[in-house]
Structure 1
Amino acid sequence: MDHEEARTLAYRCHRSLDSLHAMVYFAPEADERFSAAGLQPGQMGYFASRSAPMGAVEPGVVAATFYNFNPELVARHIPRAWTLASPEKILAARFDAADAALRRLLGDAVSSPEVAEAATLAREATGGCTPEGRPLYAGHAELDWPSEPHLALWHAVSLLREFRGDGHVAALVANGLGGLAALITHVATGKGFRPKAAKTIRGWSDEQWDAATAGLREKGLLDAGGALTDQGSELRRRIEDQTNAAATGPWRKLGPEKAVRLADLGRALSRQVVEAGAFPAGLFAQPRA
């Protein structure tokens, strides 16, 4: 597999699989399980459950690894979350939430041969992930594998997502884009959150957003209307190219034939969870599947 094919497969597989993991962040089952574990309703469960594999870390660690969230928002939930429930209890609730959400969204297909096959392939792909410089991935990689295929698939996709995400953060740092600037320029590509959703979910005020946008205009990355300039588009293209290049390990491990098969399986399953209402309407600028 040459470098270009590997980068293309890295992007294709990410796009086809990501909804199978990300659905847990919007599933009502998650808030129910985290509240039952002792956490406050709302975003506390997100911050605590995603960072829990790293242990009871301080808010600065969470903000650094999550990257584009307002650190002030993170600090409202971390470290208080650890006083309400242990990381181990939170992780158990997270897997329970993923189990319940996938059963609801996939219905009878949750126990299908396709899910089992996708789980086997995705787990094999994770064998090509390495922990160096990937703190979120490394934390999640230490967790035990679930036995049920649909949960093994969810965990495998989680590992692949965090592995890619850590590499993406490295690319953003190398190209001089801080968290908020990265979020704004990604929104400007039309491939991520809509602006209002990005501000709300990531915790940025209109004033903070506007100030950062003005700074990006001064650098020539955004035009007067907030759209990417040619320079801005080239920067985002370079970042995505570097992200894909850093994410090729799993797909080289799996090989092109199996990777294409996993992408096809993932696309069909992702489409099913999206059509079942996994994500709120109007959240993203483009359809998830």
Structure 2
Amino acid sequence: MKKQLLLAAFALVSATASAQFTIWEETFNNSTVSDWSLQDLDGNGSNWISRKNIQMGGNGEVIDGTKSILGSYHINLTNGSPLSGDENNWAVSPVIDLSFYTGSIKLIINAQTAIYDGTRDLLVYVGTSADPMVLQTGTPTALSLVRTTNDGEFFHDYEVDLSQFAGQTEVHFALVMNALVSVGIEVDQVRITATDLLGVAEVSATKFALKQNPVSDNLEFVSGTNDMTNATVYVYNASGILVKEARFSTDAIAVSHLQAGIYFAVVGNGNVTEKIKFIKK
């Protein structure tokens, strides 16, 4: 299950500038990764797959464990026999919007090498493209996944620094399993944390503005463009949930029913799309 999260209270932003809060996470609990790009670049038919972590049954067969994971394996998942050839499997994340955040931003991956594997590297590429050919022009971070027991679960958190991508509207990361893995890699959860939200003025739109911010009862826009035919205003709360949708107007758009907190208004008409961060008093 994927979530795009923002901080729930403005007071918390002000008081805990050095604290880490989660802005995006994927837990794989719904067994679907349709918004990820899973690519078997070596072409051997083995790829990343959403499933339970693997265990071995009494007859050496592969059985399900208890964790919902994203896994990539170099073994036959029916009988546990090794596969031939090398692995080069890529799991590229959905697009992640970091335009609201600053400070220390971290990608935290809870992962393990599969049972009967050893300590292996998980390669992580980060960039502004979802294309593996573009991503791999950058330098990957090699996360050394430690396993000291043959069987059972050995998940740990491993970190990648994303701070250089603060303010970017489109960021992707890729989890890459290469030929050095003999059994497989399993990822239980990935999340992104940040220490700071950008200030209200820092994420204000260039073509739109609010007459007042903080806002009491109404959104009143000032538009710097005349081409707003069929424009729509989408208001998202601090959990990334759409709470208001209305046709764009420079007249008042009522938000008196919203609770106090931080919100984001996204204004768009297909040609122009801008975001305005506002505080509801």
TMscore range, shorter length: under 0.3
Select the structure that is richer in helix. 1
Structure showing greater relative contact order (alpha-carbon pairs closer than 8 Å, 6 or more residues apart)? 1
Q: Larger strand proportion, structure 1 or 2?
A: 2
Normalised by the length of structure 1, the TM-score is 0.25
TM-score scaled to structure 2, two decimals? 0.25
